[in-house]
Chain A
Amino acid sequence: MAIHYDVKLDTLGLFCPMPIIKTSKKIKELAVGQVLEVVSDDEGIKKDMPAWCETTGHAFLGLEEEPNGSAIHYKTYVKKTK
């Protein structure tokens, strides 16, 4: 089941800490209650995004893994809470 999102952020090809830094900047552009989809091919995002949400207070909605050739695209969903 696909999670509904309002804004998409592509961080494909970027390594730690870039996806998190880009997320922290992008989330500022959203309105409270909107959902951000962050796409990454760095496996670390699976743990890093929930950790980022826990620290910043935004809601982590879930993760989807989408095989793409030899790589996996990790899609994480964050809901802006404040």
Chain B
Amino acid sequence: MTTTKLDPQVALAELQESKPQRVTLVVLSGEMDRVMAAFIIATGAAAMGMQVTMFFTFWGLNAIRREGMRGGAKDWLRRMFGYLNKGGADSLPLSRFHFWGLGTRMMKLVMKQNRMPGIAELREMALDLGVRFIACTTTLGLMGITKDTLIDEVDQFAGVSTYLAEARESQVNLFI
């Protein structure tokens, strides 16, 4: 924080001048290709000097769950749901051509052969570039996912108002 005696008007102008552009992404999908697109946009925007916030909700939460995590909820219904819904950056299926895992494995192989970063690496890169991750609390509860099964780097646990407060300040706002 600066405590210099600047003319308030000048300081404000300076602040507006240096104010970074903001990007807000809602990640609802939990498929590898869609999440990959989300992370590519996020990292690209961060590299362009923009301030990026990603809101993870519903299936998108699987992208920020620790690898192989299943559920964690107390009651049996949600525990079963959480068990069937396997999480982790490496466990995301393709939105098309998944073929019980075969298509996704082939795609991952091609990506590896071409030295393309996978979801986990893109996620790491996003965090490294200062992208903020926010997890939706309502859907966490709904899907039987507990906070302790998410990656440690989740910045906030919040709801729709937090998203909207950020989105209204954003120049780019996407729903993926």
A interface list, Cβ under 8 A from B? 13-18, 20-21, 23-24, 52, 55-56
Contacts and interface: CB of A to CB of B under 8 A. Distances in A.
A15 B44 CA distance: 12
Identify which of B43, B48, B114, B117 gathers the most chain A CB atoms within 10 Å of its CB: B48
A17 B48 CA distance: 11
Interface of B: 21, 40, 43-44, 46-50, 114-117, 125, 129
A58 B46 CA distance: 15
A53 to B, nearest CB: 10
B48 A24 contact: yes
Contacts of B114: 13, 15
B115 A23 contact: no
Contacts of B48: 20, 24, 52, 55-56
Contacts, number: 36
Contacts of A14: 115
Contact of A21 (B115, B116, B125): B125
Contacts of A23: 47
B49 A56 contact: yes
15 contacts: A13-B115, A15-B114, A15-B115, A17-B40, A17-B43, A17-B44, A20-B44, A20-B48, A21-B47, A21-B129, A24-B46, A24-B47, A55-B48, A56-B48, A56-B49
Which 10 pairs show the lowest CB-CB distances between chains A and B?
A24-B47, A17-B44, A55-B48, A21-B47, A20-B47, A56-B49, A17-B43, A17-B40, A15-B116, A13-B115
A48 B114 CA distance: 20
Nearest to A18: B117
